[in-house]
Amino acid sequence: MWWYFVVLAAVAAERVAELIVARSNETWTRGRSAVEYGRRHYPVMVVLHTGLLVGCLVEVAVAERPPLPVLAGSMLVLVVLAQVLRWWCIGTLGRYWNTRVLVVPGARPVRSGPYRLLRHPNYVAVVVEGAALPLVHSAWVTAVTFTLANAALLTVRIRCENAALTRAVPA
């Protein structure tokens, strides 16, 4: 079980790195008169994503289910691929990437990198990771709970982002 805690610690460290990048980008975009959208759902997102990591820890510790080697290996590969996709998104958006919905007036939506293939590729990474990370150690209750709650949140979040981008794009 210790190896799973190392995986969770690595994901938690990656989240901290994301927050550092987001904070720096927030300062930069606000300096360019960025407008924030979706403030009300942001705390829910923070709680949900923190709950994913906590749920993984608690379920594995309490349920004492053994990991299934084939499932653990395949899910770990998906977790790693989700991180690669997430950082590709972060790199592609550069200073415009954030955990908040911050739109600089007049800025055009990015259509390169993974954004030339999908409108919201970062959320593909979130969905994959949210299902796969718990299943690395058979935490299926956490996987299902997070996936359902995240689906509801992403419905709100994606609508918010789409509306924000529509309002901000110059004619």
Q: What is the pLDDT of residues 11-54, one digit of tens each?
A: 999 999 999 999 999 999 999 999 999 999 999 999 999 999 99
2-168: CATH architecture:
Up-down Bundle (1.20)
Alpha-carbon torsion (38, 12, 118, 22), positive or negative: positive
pTM over 0.85: yes
Asked if the model's pLDDT at residue 168 lies above 80, the reply is: no
Specify the pLDDT at position 166: 87
Distances (CA, A) of 18 to 14, 77, 109, 149: 6, 20, 21, 21
Query: What confidence tens digit (pLDDT) does each residue in 84-101 have?
Result: 999 999 999 999 999 999
Mean pLDDT of 111-117: 97
Residue pair 70/142 in contact by the 8 Å Cβ criterion: no
Mean pLDDT of 144-156: 98
How many angstroms from the chain centroid is the CA of residue 10?
15
Backbone angles phi, psi at 65, to 5 degrees: -80, 140
Q: What is the mean pLDDT of the chain?
A: 96
Mean pLDDT of 143-162: 98
Strands (E), the chain: 35-37, 101-103
